[in-house]
Amino acid sequence: AQSVAQPEDQVNVAEGNPLTVKCTYSVSGNPYLFWYVQYPNRGLQFLLKYITGDNLVKGSYGFEAEFNKSQTSFHLKKPSALVSDSALYFCAVYKAAGNKLTFGGGTRVLVKP
Amino acid sequence: NAGVMQNPRHLVRRRGQEARLRCSPMKGHSHVYWYRQLPEEGLKFMVYLQKENIIDESGMPKERFSAEFPKEGPSILRIQQVVRGDSAAYFCASSPDGYGYTFGSGTRLTVV
């Protein structure tokens, strides 16, 4: 069965510092991987996805993620965090056989001024 | 394109009442998904529908919950005889291809 894990419930970072949100996956075959962000009382917004091609994927709001097949990871990164990046971040994996996204438990990011 | 529209945004029901949550997918999207988010938790898959068909309902509770996506009109998630444990945010997503999801803003159900 496909699954995705986000090992950190919360990440705290100072504004201007690099931000990393970790995600590992377990799926047979080639994974389709996604990152979404959720602001308070809002729905999920798409940030970026990896389907195939370059391992470094660039997305919205200055975020990027690196697909690492050997480590089965898809960590989300931002070189310089903003206070407005404080939100809940979800990693997700899609498998065609199931035809649905499976989400990790989420990581709350708090960027302090 | 107005995006995925969910209504109502907030819904309060007394225990034992019925809750109806509506989701209008984006134009051209034939895949609809419902997810539930309990407070301080992640999103749990409930059901996947295409027009007039339930494709995967493996995440739906066996009793009291049902979903439909009729040929005309929005998708409906129906919860009968609600209990306090049903209080959650319910999100709908639609997709043209099965994985390019667009989410709605959710319906926050409170059972009192």
**pLDDT tens digit string along B52-102?**
899 999 999 999 999 999 988 999 999 999 999 999 999 999 998 777 889
Q: Band of the pLDDT at A40, cuts 50, 70, 90? A: confident
**CA of B38: which chain A residue's CA is closest?**
A105
- How far apart are the CA of B27 and the nearest CA of chain A, in angstroms? 18
Answer whether residue B1 shows pLDDT above 60.
Answer: no
- Of A43, A94, A96, nearest to B103 by CB-CB distance is A43
What is the average pLDDT value for chain A, to the nearest integer?
92
- List for chain B the helix, strand, coil content (%; round to 5): 5, 50, 45
Torsion of CA A54, A55, A58, A64, to 10 degrees: -170
Distances (CA, A) of B1 to A8, A43, B5: 36, 17, 11
Is A100 a residue whose pLDDT tops 90? no
The sign of the dihedral angle between the CA atoms of A53, A92, B24, B70 is positive
Q: CB burial class (10 A; 0-12, 13-18, 19+) of residue A37?
A: buried
- Tell me the chain A residues in contact with residue B47 when contact means C-beta distances shorter than 8 Å: none
CB B67 within 8 A of CB B53: no
CA distance A73 to chain B (A): 19
Query: Searching chain A, which residue's CA lies closest to the CA of residue B4?
Result: A43
Give residue A97's pLDDT band: very low, low, confident or very high (50, 70, 90).
low
* Residue A42 scores a pLDDT above 70: yes
